[in-house]
Amino acid sequence: MADNAGTLYLVSTPIGNLEDVTRRALRVLSEADLVACEDTRHTRKLLDHYGIRTKTISYHEHNERERAVELAARLAAGQTVALVSDAGTPGVSDPGYRLVRAAIERGAGVVPVPGATAFVAALTASGLPTDEFFFGGFLPARSMARRSRLSQVRSLAATLVFYEAPHRIGDALRDAREILGEREAAVARELTKLHEEIARGRLTELIEKFSGEHAARGEMVVVIDRTVIADAAADQASAQTESIAALVAAYERDEGLDQRAALKRAARRLGLSRDEAYRRLVAERARDRSD
């Protein structure tokens, strides 16, 4: 750390329940020269709740680049900056990384003040193994990219954890069932809030629960087991609906096949004629474009 340089504190704040904040977090927020936050009005509510009067400045995905330079200059001049996000731990599927890099480059101290983060709360309460896990942040919004991402993690020997938006949860679970096969899973919704719910079951059961008119509201985390449930009927159903576009993409990427060879391979795996496989590929891509 450079002489006279200040300190950047990465302060975790609640993911819903305002009591989920540490005493140290409150002290650091009240002693800092400045609190950098995604939404100043949102963070002001937390600060007001605890009688903290520190000045705030916005730091969000749209001004991250310029603000990181500006805040790093303040740190280099000896100021103390506390970074928070709207909820949970800054830098976890939230802005933070650029500022941390800039602070390190300017010789400032970087000090975490740990606390709530949604994926850890969801994972630990899911009932699925916690010894090894993979946190993938938000799954891609478009189906083809989402299936391709799921294909990349299909054979990991780890519990899979993703953030997901409520209007995509049904589609994401369906893609997960198709690409990963039937598995135990959990959807942790509105953690620490009034309507907290942790739905546990097979992917097929969760698809049922979170589709159509039962679509859920609120913030949610999806947790998926590493083990495929050996169930011939489920496997067959899954193969029949498996995404051919994702399979073709996986063969192209992982095995360096050209599209023609990848399609032939995918057709064989799905028990389809090459014509039928091609028709399905074109239909899926058209569907993805209109998503």
Per CB under 6 A, residues contacting ligand SAM are 15-16, 85, 87-89, 92-94, 117-119, 163-164, 188-193, 219-221
Q: Which residue is nearest to ligand SAM (CB)?
A: 88
Min dist. Cβ of residue 68 to ligand SAM (A): 17
Measured from the CB atom, is 95 or 181 closer to ligand SAM?
Answer: 95
What backbone phi and psi angles, to 5 degrees, belong to 58? -80, 145
Of 22 and 192, CB closest to ligand SAM: 192
**Is the separation of the CB atoms in 113 and 22 below 8 Å?**
yes
- Of 191 and 248, the one with the shorter C-beta distance to ligand SAM is 191
Q: Can you list the positions of beta strands (E) in the chain?
A: 7-11, 34-37, 56-58, 80-83, 109-113, 133-138, 159-164, 184-189, 197-202, 220-224
Q: What's the min distance (Å) between Cβ of 13 and ligand SAM?
A: 9
Cβ distance to ligand SAM smaller for residue 145 or 261: 145
Kindly list the distances between the CA atom of residue 88 and the CA atoms of 11, 52, 150, 241, in Å, as whole numbers in the listed order.
Answer: 9, 18, 25, 37
* Residue 60 Cβ vs ligand SAM, minimum distance, rounded to whole Å: 11
Q: How far apart are CA 236 and CA 270, in angstroms?
A: 10
CB of 121 to ligand SAM, least distance (A): 7
